[in-house]
Chains A and B, each alone.
Chain A
Amino acid sequence: MAKKKKKVPGLNGSSMADISFTLLIFFLITTSMDTDMGLARRLPRPPEPDQEDVMTDIKSRNILYVRINAAGELWVKDEISSGQAQLSELRNRVKEFVKNENDLSKLPEKHVKEIDLLGRCYVTDKHIISVQTDRGTPYNAYFQVQNELVAAYNELRNELAKQKFGREFQYLKDDEKVAVRQYYPQQISEAEPRKYGGQQ
């Protein structure tokens, strides 16, 4: 049986490239590569049912009010001054307020605090920045205010980090970061939204 061995014809692979191209294009369209960025914030814990209004027990020198009205205009008030403000002024106002460099009696009170790595410090850890908005405030105005507040804290922390550790905040070790955060804790309070038209 000397049958001639039949050769199996090879599969034509020339269209493989086209198929994989189609797959590639499908994935390019249905997926997204965007890295999501955003302003990270932490909300306060939900209020206990019998909790009193804590804002009433705080000395007025410790509070910086930032109000944004429905037109997106800013109104900033502390013990020194109150009135309309521009967004560009806000950062320095907040820095001045939180830092209270000269221990003024109209800016937040300072306490002695024992912090690891930094030792005994005079810090304004009782200060509060109260952000109030109206229901009609544009989101962008609110976001820019939040951005400026975070920027103010970041600048203060950077200054401290450079002064104490000789590096910027983001390059610090974890325990050093904790120390700097304790020196300048972020204390932003957002009042309950004002409701109009009585109870629903």
Chain B
Amino acid sequence: MPEMNTSSLPDLIFSILFFFMMVTTMREVTLKVKFTVPAGTELEKLEKKSAVSFIYVGPPTDNLRAQMGSGTRIQLNDRYAEPREVMDFVAAERKGMKNQAEQVISIKADQKTQMGYITDIKEVLRKSWALRINYSATHRN
């Protein structure tokens, strides 16, 4: 029985690889907080990914809980931060953007977070003129 010619297999796999490289985005940060975002119905898609910065809010992940406790934490880039540090974060993010006026801050916060943390962040965002925000959520019917 003649063997199947597999010489085109690498090309095939490479095209799949390139496809995935196109449609996906690199995971930029390692999450240090865990969160379940709320579910809503009136959601909009986040367009222009290059103009979006993320702020994560929630309790530390399981493996960090021993050191950091289980209180709510704010994560900017790769580390925990205080609400006032959001201002520097926004400025730094804005510097690297081409379309600075379209900057959007997406808040990925856990459902059970107390609003105090969120309002603190929002106040700082207001002061740093990052007025377009987005409460990250999943879709529900």
Taking Cβ atoms with an 8 Å cutoff, the residues of A that contact B are 13-14, 16-17, 19-21, 23-24, 27-28, 30-33, 35-46, 68, 133-140, 142-144, 146-147, 150-151, 154, 190, 193
> Interface readout for B86-116 with A: 1 if CB under 8 Å, 0 if not?
0000000000000000001010011111111
Is the CB–CB distance between B42 and A38 below 8 Å? no
Given known A-B contacts A36-B46, A135-B114, A46 and B126 have beta carbons under 8 A apart:
yes
- Is the beta-carbon distance between B16 and A146 smaller than 8 angstroms? no
Contacting B40 at CB < 8 Å: which of A32, A39, A135?
Answer: A39
Decide yes or no: A21 and B134 within 8 Å by CB, A135-B114, A144-B40 being known contacts: no
Nearest residue (CB) in A for B46 is A36
How many chain B residues have a CB neighbour from A under 8 Å? Answer: 55
Tell me if A35 and B45 are in contact (CB < 8 A): yes
| Cα of A42 to Cα of B133 in the assembled complex, Å | 6
Output the nearest chain A residue to B135 by Cβ-Cβ distance.
A39
Nearest A residue to B54, CB-CB: A36
Across the interface, name the chain A residue whose C-beta is closest to B138. A37
Given the contacts A32-B27, A44-B126, A143-B135, A39 and B44 also touching, CB distance less than 8 Å: yes
Which residue from chain B places its CB closest to the CB of A47 in the assembled complex?
A: B126
Q: For the complex, what is the distance from the CA of A138 to the CA of B117, rounded to whole Å?
A: 10
- Chain B residues in 8 Å Cβ range of A133: 115, 119
What is the CA–CA distance of A136 and B27 in the complex, to the nearest angstrom?
A: 32
Nearest 5 A/B pairs, CB to CB = A135-B116, A31-B24, A16-B10, A140-B111, A20-B13
Please tell me if the beta carbons of A43 and B106 are within 8 angstroms of each other in the complex.
Answer: no
Contacts of B120 in A (CB 8 A): 193
Residue numbers in A under 8 Å from B24 (CB-CB)? 27, 31-33
